[in-house]
Amino acid sequence: MIGYGPFWKTLKNSNETTYTLINKYHISSATIDKLRKNKPLTTTTLNDLCRILNCPLDEIAEYTFSEKDQQL
């Protein structure tokens, strides 16, 4: 399962807020909601967040094995 726990830590330690992400960088409120609920995001969105927060991907998302993952 992909989780965005690291995103919230990175955001807290940055000069940005969800308000600036939405209003300055035009990240949609739906994207912020997806981050809160660990819903899928596009790689383009992940790239944008890395650029905005000036961080590597592992400071935005993490993979954790879950038995609830879909069957392959």
Domains in the chain, please, with CATH?
2-63 (1.10.260)
Q: What is the pLDDT of residues 18-45, one digit of tens each?
A: 999 999 999 999 999 999 999 999 999 9
More confident of the two residues 71 and 34: 34
- pLDDT at position 66 is 80
| Number of neighbours of residue 6 by Cβ within 10 angstroms | 16
Task: Identify the burial level of 51 via C-beta atoms within 10 angstroms of its C-beta, where 0-12 means exposed, 13-18 middle and 19 or more buried.
Answer: exposed
Contact (CB, 8 A) for 65 and 23 = no
Read off the pLDDT of each residue in 63-70 and give the average, rounded to a whole number.
82
Q: How far apart are CA 18 and CA 28, in angstroms?
A: 10
- pLDDT at position 57 is 98
Name residue, tokens 């726990």. 5
